[in-house]
Chains A and B, each alone.
Chain A
Amino acid sequence: MTAGRSRRLPRWLTVLVPLMCVVGCGSPAPPHRVVSVWAMGREGEVIAQLLPEFTKLHPDIEVRIQQLPWTAAHQKLLTAFAGEATPDVCQLGNTWIPEFVALKALEPLDQSLARSTAVQASDYFPGIWDTNIIGGTLYGVPWYIDTRLLFYRRDLLAQAGFAEPPRTWEEWSRMLAAVKSLVGPERYGVLLPLNEFDTLLVLAIQQPEPLLREDGRYGNFRSAGFRRALAFYREMFQRRWAPPVDSTQISNVWNELGRGYFSFYISGPWNIGEFTRRLPPEQQGTWMTAPMPGPDGPGASIAGGASLVIFRRSRHKADAWLLLEFLSSAQIQQRFYQLTGDLPPRRSTWRAPELAGNLYARAFREQLERVKPQPKVPEWERIVTDMRLVAERVVHGDLSVEEGATDLDRDVDGMLQKRRWLLARGATP
């Protein structure tokens, strides 16, 4: 009996040995390639849901995501740059790219692109692609796009006698006048919040003249085109087609459009989702989107949105590019659109049924063929902010259009002084 017992393995061993095998032999070797990613806001939340497929394709690459709130992102990125703690991959608003290129913080991507089959420049909307090219070099791959166009009340426009949205400024003016006389003194035609520069920027970017001249050395706001845009902007307030308010005074734009406080609103793609969600079902048939009207025919709009960039200090650039390719693939972009409502930058993604069948997205599809990048100088954000302040004074009647344009050029020339000094020294800012 004792002999028989000793020949058998003790029972605890029969449990322990396979267990050790599971723990020790079963777990894969820890991934030794790590790619760190910073993403902002809603995109930062969603990116984690897309990654399991990437891990399936590249099991040896570990992706570490850090979410940043949009309000703190710019500050945090600059601090990270100063402290040499930038991530490998980052989501970057495309108007920030010139600034980070000036800091020499971003990795040029031309070579990776030339070798890539997944990312095809020709499939992207050209205006959006262009925002990532600074001085002939590519620094980012568009991730999603953002532009501005018209949200409007179809029913009120029909009551005022118009079946179609405007194509030109002149048609738009006639509609605004008709809507204004329809709704009376307490309500308006269009909402142009005085604390936002977007609408004036769209009107200005539709003009043939560039907003800065001599390679971004001087402002070009005294050009006939900008003065025409500023005059039209002022006219919309002077004729009381637009209320002289800023967006903090409109507690709920969606309700106000529903109530008909204004009939036109210039906004971006995220508001498709908001209007669908926030307006009651019986009002869903009353609103629609339309491309921006231009000075003489369908007009351009701004090429906004965010790109994916690789930082120069990254030590995992090849892996970072793999992640960029993965996030840019048509299939992942479709999932990304479903999760966020962010519009994809590739034409091929737009053929997907969810997008092709979305009535409200159609105007965006049309507008995207006519988007123009903003001037690519690091000072640009400050310049448009000053443009807004001057426009506010013009609307208020403190300055004429001529004076406003002259003041703006003087301010902007001052802001670009250091850039001129750098260019004169032969440096590339």
Chain B
Amino acid sequence: MKTAPAAWAFAAPALLIITVFFFVPVLAALAVSLTDFDLYALADIRNLRFVGLHNYWRLLHTPDFWRALTNTAYFVVVGVPLSLAASLATALLVNSRLAYLAGLFRTALFAPVVTTLVAVAVVWRYLLHTRYGLINYALAHLGIHPIDWLGDPHWALPAIILFAVWKNFGYNMVIFLAALQSIPADLYEAARLDGASLWQEFGRITLPMLRPTLLLVSILTVAGYFQLFAEPYVMTQGGPLQSTVSVLYFMYEEGFKWWNLGSASAVAFLLFLIILAVTALQLRLARDAQAR
């Protein structure tokens, strides 16, 4: 009987902090999302109107919001597998016993994660330049006509995906590397004695042993990629033709540029629900796969 108050006392500071810094702001944001809080309401609170679910209803009827959602979905569906593949491939390479200067490569491949996004964006803007960029220069040698990477609405998002994958794969690589190093070496030895090929080793040992890590990494990456913002913000400002506006970018403009905090909060809640649903789906799929 006495343990309960003691436990509450120990948990109280953390609970208090979570309440003050998480639950209260979230509830406040939920309340704001049901109003038309804007510049006029900031001037005089009597200009605030309770609008119920109107913000949500209106967002679902705004073509620009759907475009932002489509762009974000495109970014997640293409970007996450690419990013995971790049991370896993580089982790395998760096982990290989044949790897030369593994420490150097590990650092070099991790470097993009720790460099400033704005600085590398400047470099990438030059790389992607239509007339002077290195990428188009290389493509020209393959006989491919110059691509207007950041100016063509069809190519801008792929360019952003490329940039984001390059910027972020190092982080997951390190997690994969740790997981790879925890796979017991005798499993591989036994497999080799049984005459398994490299592909069989990868498919039968490495991948199954990595499954928990893969699940964790994919959940983190999906949640992170849904919150795409900084890359288009520094590279294209959402252009050309709104082709790189993500949900978060849309929310930023709605809230901090136009000061429509009511509708921006509604965007935030919609994005939260989407990420929650996708994560739940991922966990469900992972559980089903394990059950089989």
A residues whose Cβ falls under 8 Å from a Cβ of B: 75, 78, 81-82, 99, 102-105, 194-195, 244-246, 248-249, 251, 378, 381-382, 389, 392-393, 396, 398, 418, 422, 427, 429
Contacts and interface: CB of A to CB of B under 8 A. Distances in A.
A246 B40 contact: no
B125 A248 contact: yes
A28 B258 CA distance: 48
Interface stretch (B12-20, B100-108, B232-240): B232-240
Interface in B193-238: 235-237
B150 A248 contact: yes
B9 interface: no
Interface in B40-60: 40, 42-44, 47
Given A378-B39, A418-B40, A251 B241 contact: no
B23 interface: no
Interface centre among A75, A102, A393 (most CB of B within 10 A): A102
A105 B39 CA distance: 12
B151 A246 contact: yes
Contact of A422 (B40, B42, B240): B40
B239 A418 contact: no
Nearest to A195: B239
A418 B158 CA distance: 38
Given A248-B236, A393-B241, A103 B151 contact: no
Given A251-B126, A429-B40, 20 more contacts: A75-B256, A78-B259, A99-B39, A102-B39, A104-B44, A195-B237, A195-B239, A245-B148, A246-B151, A248-B150, A248-B237, A251-B129, A251-B132, A378-B40, A381-B258, A382-B257, A393-B241, A396-B153, A418-B38, A427-B47
B95 interface: no
A429 B40 CA distance: 7
Contacts, number: 63
Contacts of A378: 39-40
Contacts of A418: 36, 38, 40, 47
Interface centre among B39, B126, B148, B150 (most CB of A within 10 A): B39
Contacts of A248: 125, 150, 235-237, 239
Interface centre among A249, A389, A393, A427 (most CB of B within 10 A): A249
B282 interface: no
B70 interface: no
A81 B42 CA distance: 9
A398 B44 CA distance: 41
A246 B240 contact: yes
B124 to A, nearest CB: 12
